[in-house]
Amino acid sequence: MNIPTDLKYTRSHEWVRLEADGTIRIGITDHAQELLGDLVFIELPEPGRELAAEQEAAVVESVKAAADVYAPLAGSVIENNQALADAPELVNQDAYAAWLFRMRPAAVNDLDSLLDAAAYQEIVAAA
C-alpha cells in the first residue's frame, strides 16, 4: 500500500500536503483510486469558493461509480488542477502527483486534526 509519510490524510481518503507558503494541496489516495478503478471524469471546485471542513468539494467519477471528495479543512479554494480535465487517468497513474485542488486553510493549526500515514494505514487495513 502506497501511503507516503510526508502527507496528512483523512478518513474519507483524501491526502493533504502542506506547502511552504501555508497553503495545502489536496488529492485522493492511491487506495481510493484503486477502489474506484479507471477515472473518466473529475469535477473540481472553482477558485474563490469557501469550503467548510468535510464539505463536498469535488467529484471523481470512474467507469463504475461517482465519489465525492471532501475539503479536509475549512478554507478557500485558490487553484484547481486543470490538467485533470482532459486526463483524469493521471490520478490512476500517480495519485500523489495528480493533485485536485489547492486551498488556503482558515487556520493552519487545523492540520493537526488530520491523520498521519500510520493512522491512515490502520484505517485502510481495517476496511
Nearer to other proteins by Cβ, of 91 and 115: the residue is: 91
Q: What angle do CA 17, 40, 87 make, to 5 degrees?
A: 60
Task: State the nearest-atom distance from the C-beta of 35 to other proteins, in Å.
Answer: 9
Q: Does residue 111 contact residue 105 with C-beta atoms inside 8 Å?
A: yes
Q: Do the bridges between strand 39-43 and strand 56-62 make them parallel or antiparallel, or are there none, so unpaired?
A: antiparallel
- According to CB under 8 A, which one of 1, 4, 22, 41 is a site residue for other proteins? 41
Task: State the nearest-atom distance from the C-beta of 77 to other proteins, in Å.
Answer: 17
Q: Which stretch binds other proteins (CB under 8 A): 2-10, 15-23, 61-69, 75-83?
A: 61-69
- According to CB under 8 A, which one of 43, 54, 79, 116 is a site residue for other proteins? 43
Burial (CB < 10 A; 0-12, 13-18, 19+), residue 16, is buried
Q: Do the bridges between strand 101-105 and strand 66-70 make them parallel or antiparallel, or are there none, so unpaired?
A: unpaired
- Residues at the contact surface with other proteins, assessed by CB under 8 A: 37-38, 40-41, 43, 59, 61, 63-64, 66, 85
